[in-house]
């Protein structure tokens, strides 16, 4: 099958246009399959360059309360991994934007690594960000991914020793995800003061794009991060549009689309 490198093309196009990419996170199938599909379409239509889909999991240790509850809602709606794959298939009928699964290793391992990667590529997933799988333990997944054109995104944290960065970037593909804060996901009022320095340290060891996430929730924060990183990840600020409008689920795609457009606007604000 044709395996286009949509991630590389996105970051190349953004570089040519002199701006960072906007990465939007939502949990797949939150609050249900049909609404999640409309949410995904709305995010893409309102400027999200790369869609990061959380795969619902019963024990999402890296996530704050906002994203934990999103996963819980998706699971309570009856959604499973087959529905997540089907969601990507439906999104692909609407858009060719890169899609990355934000997932946990048990969800991959339990289905069989080769089978999981193969199915993910068949439906149109471009990359896997496996939260609890360090690169030292990821050999089998990396090998399966390379054989199918799947990218493996790895995280670098504020606590990552600099001498470990070269190993991480050697195993990574697609892009690198710098977590700007210690702890779990969630909106924050301010950005880390050493963000620019940290990003430059990573860039000493790789030419892969560096995206920054965790806690970014306002257009001004998007702009500030976009000035030093190749991509800006916003999650909780979007997911809160879902949880805050559950009594009227039909309104959620419109609300989240408006929020996305506002945040994306931070990249081009004067």
Digit-coded pLDDT (tens) for 183-210: 444 444 555 568 999 999 999 999 999 9
Residue 188 lies in a domain: yes
Q: Quote the tokens at residue 40.
A: 């995904």
Residue 157 lies in a domain: yes
**Catalytic option among 30, 49, 52, 187:** 52
Average pLDDT, the chain: 93
Give Rg (Cα) of the chain: 17
- Express each pLDDT in 25-76 by its tens digit: 999 999 999 999 999 999 999 999 999 999 999 887 778 888 899 999 999 9
Q: Is 52 a catalytic residue?
A: yes
88 alpha carbon, distance to own chain's centre: 14
Domain CATH for 70: 3.20.20.70
Q: What is the value of pTM for the model shown? A: 0.94
3-state SS assignment for residue 36:
helix
Q: Is 197 a catalytic residue?
A: no
Residue 155 lies in a domain: yes
**Catalytic option among 63, 126, 187, 230:** 63
User: Span 73-88, mean pLDDT?
Assistant: 97
171: CB partners within 8 A, 6+ apart: 135, 138, 142, 152, 154
Residue 1 lies in a domain: no
Q: Could you give phi then psi for residue 71, rounded to 5 degrees?
A: -60, -40
Domain count, the chain: 1
Distance CA 113, CA 136 (A): 16
User: Span 128-142, mean pLDDT?
Assistant: 96
- Domain hosting 177: range is 6-267
């Amino acid at each position: 099958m044709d395996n286009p490198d949509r991630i590389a093309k996105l970051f190349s196009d953004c570089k040519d246009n002199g701006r960072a990419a906007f990465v939007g996170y939502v949990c797949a199938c939150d609050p249900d399959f049909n609404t999640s599909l409309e949410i995904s379409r709305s995010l893409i239509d309102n400027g999200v360059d790369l869609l990061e889909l959380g795969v619902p999991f019963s024990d999402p240790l890296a996530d704050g309360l906002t994203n934990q509850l999103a996963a819980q809602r998706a699971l309570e709606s009856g959604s499973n991994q087959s529905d997540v794959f089907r969601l990507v298939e439906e999104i692909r009928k609407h858009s060719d934007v890169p899609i990355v699964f934000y997932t946990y290793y048990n969800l991959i391992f339990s289905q069989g690594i080769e089978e999981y990667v193969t199915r993910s590529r068949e439906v149109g997933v471009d990359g896997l960000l496996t939260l609890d799988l360090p690169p030292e333990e990821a050999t089998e997944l990396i090998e399966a991914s390379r054989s199918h054109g799947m990218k493996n995104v790895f995280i670098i944290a504020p606590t990552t020793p600099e001498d470990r960065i070269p190993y991480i970037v050697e195993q990574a593909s697609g892009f690198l995800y710098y977590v700007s804060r210690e702890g779990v996901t969630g909106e924050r009022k301010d950005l880390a003061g050493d963000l620019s320095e940290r990003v430059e340290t990573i860039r000493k060891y790789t030419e892969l794009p560096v995206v920054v996430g965790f806690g970014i929730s306002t257009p001004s924060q998007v702009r500030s991060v976009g000035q030093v990183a190749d991509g800006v990840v916003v999650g909780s600020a979007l997911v809160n549009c879902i949880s805050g409008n559950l009594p009227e689920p039909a309104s959620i795609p419109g609300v989240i689309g408006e929020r996305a457009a506002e945040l994306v606007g931070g990249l081009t604000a004067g």
